[in-house]
Structure 1
Amino acid sequence: MKVGSTMKDTKFDFETVIDRHDTNCLKWDCFDDDLPMWVADMDFKVAPTISESILKRAKHPIYGYTIVPDELFESYINWWNRRYDFEMSKENMMYSIGVMPSISSMIRCLTDVGDEILIQSPVYHVFYYVIEENDRKVIENELIYENGIYRIDFDDLDEKLSKVKMMILCNPHNPIGKTWSKEELYKIGQLCSKNDVILISDEIHCDLTDPDIKYNPFEISSNYKKVITCLSPSKSFNIAGFQSSIVHTKNKELFEKIKMQLHIDNSDSCNVFATNAVIAAYNDSEEWLEKLKITLFENKIFVRNYLKEELPIIKLLDCDATYLLWLDCSSLNIPSKEISESLRANQGLFLSAGIDFGKNGDEFLRMNIACPKKILKEGLERLKEGIISLNS
């Protein structure tokens, strides 16, 4: 869908449709779909302060090997301390090219081939790949879905933690968009402690909560000691292409093992523009993020109202985090892959099939709503047309 429009003279522009074709864009250039609403990046311009910082660095004509400056770590420290009362220190932080490369490295250095690793499904599909492709085994603690709400099956979690060496937590949770409470996180920590399980908390979506809602960092919600937190501005500020994140743990034994493995895997080097982007994001782009959160919340309300009025056979799961909506299609009695493939073939609309996130996600579709309202409206219209056609 190559759409152009006149740029609006506003401080933060979340309305202009920007043509991303021919930019080597995973979302728009890799497939023939007219309207991709699947992969988790945003179709909004980044904060002006980030663009300005990148352009300033680009004016220097040499782009050689780059170190990670203290200012980058300080930007993380100040952000999490100010916004989430999470006190970090530089000696507990490691730079990495991304959250999933970090988790892959940690799987290799903290577990052995054949070990079992627990995840809570339905969950981010790459968790499955990174475990299985490292020759470990996936153990699922399936989330319980009742009356439109997900909750943790703690009895099942306790039983399965007794068999595994590691747990990977998604906080907030993708794809259900849930921020876990302090009580839930504390209980997870208790069970991990009881069973001596290493916990990795992927908190990449933490900033993308509804306005006036804050996520709860695992490390300050639990007194558990074998915990590692993965953080990145990539989702919050739409800068995934810079491949930048940090790993944080106060456990010195785990720290040294992880640091060595990141180095072995060449995952601790820095993109020449990444430091500028991260520092500008955390130090100078907070106002942009707050406006973004309002835009995403408005988009979510728009989807909820549209489905109620135009397509009530599809239910929107209530959620308070991420820009990824989990659509309940159970009334159709059609496998999610079949729905997704039909929408792509007949409407050019690419939504993620729920089965990709675990077998207990097969009655759902995942929709990315981080886009201008014009794109969102068209996506919903195509969804309506496709579902009506399938259901008939």
Structure 2
Amino acid sequence: MQYNFDEIIDRSTSHSVKLNKLKTVFGRDDLIPLWVADMDFLSPPAITEALIERTRHGIFGYTVPYDGYFLSIINWLKDRHSYEVYRNEITFVPGVVKGFAFAIDAFTKKNDKIIIQPPVYHPFRIVPEALERRVVNNPLLLENGKYSIDFEGLKGIIAENDCKMLILCNPHNPVGRVWNEDELIQLAEICYDNNILVVSDEIHSDLTLPGFRHRPFATVSEKAKENSITLMAPSKTFNIAGIVSSFAVIHNPEIRKLYLNYLAPRELDQATIYALAATEAAYNYGEEWLDQALAYIQKNIDFVENYLKEYIPQINAVKSEATFLVWLDCRALNLTQQELVDLFVNKAKLALNDGTVFGKEGEGFMRLNVGTPLSNIEKALDNLRKALNS
């Protein structure tokens, strides 16, 4: 089946955050919305059909996860990522951000130190701080247009601080890196040897672009497997974030017991009916749709890169290895961050994420969501070119 990713879908009546919060966040609502990390594509028909079929039953009482749900996850991870997991190692969690918030509660206490690697998805900082933990930054290195982990910096931080946890973004949002096996092995060694639990956010794991392969953190070594919590979901992959369908994979029985002992009394491991149905349908029948979506996203990224080189050479798109998010390096414009945001919002009429949301390391950058019909990207870049020319 061929899917039409060029189709413009009206989201104005669907209570979309991407549209409904424009005025609140940007001060105006006449913007092309290219910020919130969901896509403007219809989800796979199999998911819609599964939800409709379940709805037709008409009774929506208490429901337990069932064999088909677990098998869909197990088979997907094995086939897509060569990642072998077992049913007892999987638990539902009501969102990846909530998943690492629960881990912070379960494995650390007030004032404990948690390592993050900015520029990074902003809840990595916001959530620990809100839970009264102390965030320790191990900023990524940017050399020759490519980001990498600062391992020497990490060792220095650990030598000077009693850190309890590292929250890993794998693949990394917003910079689009797919961490390779050697990088993950080295990270696993350092954290294991220093008794630092790794919580690996792998929500973008299925969105690696052509030519790149995701490596689940827990698969790279025994130390990684025994000292980690992996958080995954079909939500970003199949554009079903509003259904809330995340899950955790934990191999170490002691870590799993402590995590489940936190979740179970609070009923945080109780999946909704629609999360179960959508996950099963996505993983069993969504692969063809995903492969076509990734090809389309790559086409959009290629368009952005080529357009910028030809018409706006002062802005460079950092090479994306995964996700539908493009990290724009705008430092050559020589604008303050306030001026940069003003350029995008008030002059080009575009809603992108301000790079400093992801940490001070994001100064001079903007994050662009290309999970949208190409016509939207074309219009957005034309607006930006005209704004700069004027």
When normalised by structure 1's length, the TM-score is 0.94
Q: Which deviates more from structure 2 when the two are superposed, residues 115-124 or residues 345-354?
A: 345-354
Residue from 128, 134, 137 that aligns with 2:125: 128
Residue from 60, 64, 84 that aligns with 1:63: 60
Aligned to 2:165: 166
Structure 1 91/25 Cα, relative in aligned 2: closer, same or farther at 3 Å?
A: same
Aligned to 1:302: 303
Does the residue aligned with 2:147 lie in a helix, a strand or coil? strand
Q: How many residues align?
A: 380
Letter in 1 for 2:82: D
Does the residue aligned with 1:235 lie in a helix, a strand or coil? helix
**In the alignment, structure 1 residue 116 sits paired with structure 2 residue 117:** no
1:39 Cα offset (Å): 0.8
**In the alignment, structure 1 residue 144 sits paired with structure 2 residue 141:** yes
Aligned to 2:353: 352
Structure 1 44/264 Cα, relative in aligned 2: closer, same or farther at 3 Å?
A: same
How far apart in 2 are the matches of 1:388 and 1:202? 40
Does the residue aligned with 2:283 lie in a helix, a strand or coil? helix
Aligned to 1:207: 206
Does the residue aligned with 1:207 lie in a helix, a strand or coil? helix
Structure 1 vs Structure 2: percent identity of aligned residues?
A: 39
**In the alignment, structure 1 residue 86 sits paired with structure 2 residue 83:** yes
Aligned to 2:188: 189
How far apart in 2 are the matches of 1:230 and 1:89? 15
1:264 Cα offset (Å): 4.1
How far apart in 2 are the matches of 1:71 and 1:59? 19
Residues 257-279 of structure 1, C-alpha deviations (whole Å, 9 max, x = no match): 11122234442222221111111
Q: Which deviates more from structure 2 when the two are superposed, residues 169-178 or residues 33-42?
A: 33-42
Aligned to 2:20: 29
1:336 Cα offset (Å): 3.1
Q: Is the 8 A contact 1:102 1:262 kept in 2?
A: no
Does the residue aligned with 1:43 lie in a helix, a strand or coil? coil
How far apart in 2 are the matches of 1:367 and 1:335? 19
Letter in 2 for 1:34: L
Q: Which deviates more from structure 2 when the two are superposed, residues 244-253 or residues 328-337?
A: 328-337
Residues 178-237 of structure 1, C-alpha deviations (whole Å, 9 max, x = no match): 100100000000100221100001111011111242111111113212111001000000
Q: Is the 8 A contact 1:34 1:349 kept in 2?
A: yes
Structure 1 141/16 Cα, relative in aligned 2: closer, same or farther at 3 Å?
A: same
Residues 68-88 of structure 1, C-alpha deviations (whole Å, 9 max, x = no match): 222212111111111211100
Superposition map of 1:330-345 within 5 A = 330-345=331-346
Q: Is the 8 A contact 1:101 1:267 kept in 2?
A: no
1:337 Cα offset (Å): 4.3
Aligned to 1:7: none
Structure 1 161/68 Cα, relative in aligned 2: closer, same or farther at 3 Å?
A: farther
Does the residue aligned with 1:22 lie in a helix, a strand or coil? coil
How far apart in 1 are the matches of 2:265 and 2:376? 43
Aligned to 2:289: 288
Q: CA RMSD in A?
A: 1.4
**In the alignment, structure 1 residue 18 sits paired with structure 2 residue 13:** no
How far apart in 2 are the matches of 1:26 and 1:110? 32
How far apart in 1 are the matches of 2:182 and 2:245? 31
Letter in 1 for 2:341: S
How far apart in 2 are the matches of 1:336 and 1:291? 36
Does the residue aligned with 2:328 lie in a helix, a strand or coil? strand
Q: Which has the higher helix share?
A: 2
Does the residue aligned with 2:41 lie in a helix, a strand or coil? coil
How far apart in 2 are the matches of 1:342 and 1:263? 48
How far apart in 1 are the matches of 2:385 and 2:265? 49
Structure 1 165/299 Cα, relative in aligned 2: closer, same or farther at 3 Å?
A: same
When normalised by structure 2's length, the TM-score is 0.94
How far apart in 1 are the matches of 2:32 and 2:103? 36
How far apart in 1 are the matches of 2:236 and 2:266? 23
How far apart in 2 are the matches of 1:149 and 1:388? 29
Q: Is the 8 A contact 1:22 1:29 kept in 2?
A: no
Residue from 29, 43, 47 that aligns with 2:40: 43
Letter in 2 for 1:237: F
How far apart in 2 are the matches of 1:240 and 1:299? 21
Unaligned runs of 5+ in 2: 23-28
Q: Is the 8 A contact 2:96 2:232 kept in 1?
A: yes
Letter in 2 for 1:259: L
Q: Is the 8 A contact 2:340 2:364 kept in 1?
A: no
Aligned to 1:218: 217
Q: Which deviates more from structure 2 when the two are superposed, residues 55-64 or residues 128-137?
A: 55-64
Letter in 1 for 2:20: D
1:105 Cα offset (Å): 0.6
How far apart in 2 are the matches of 1:229 and 1:336? 34
How far apart in 2 are the matches of 1:196 and 1:27? 40
Unaligned runs of 5+ in 1: 1-9
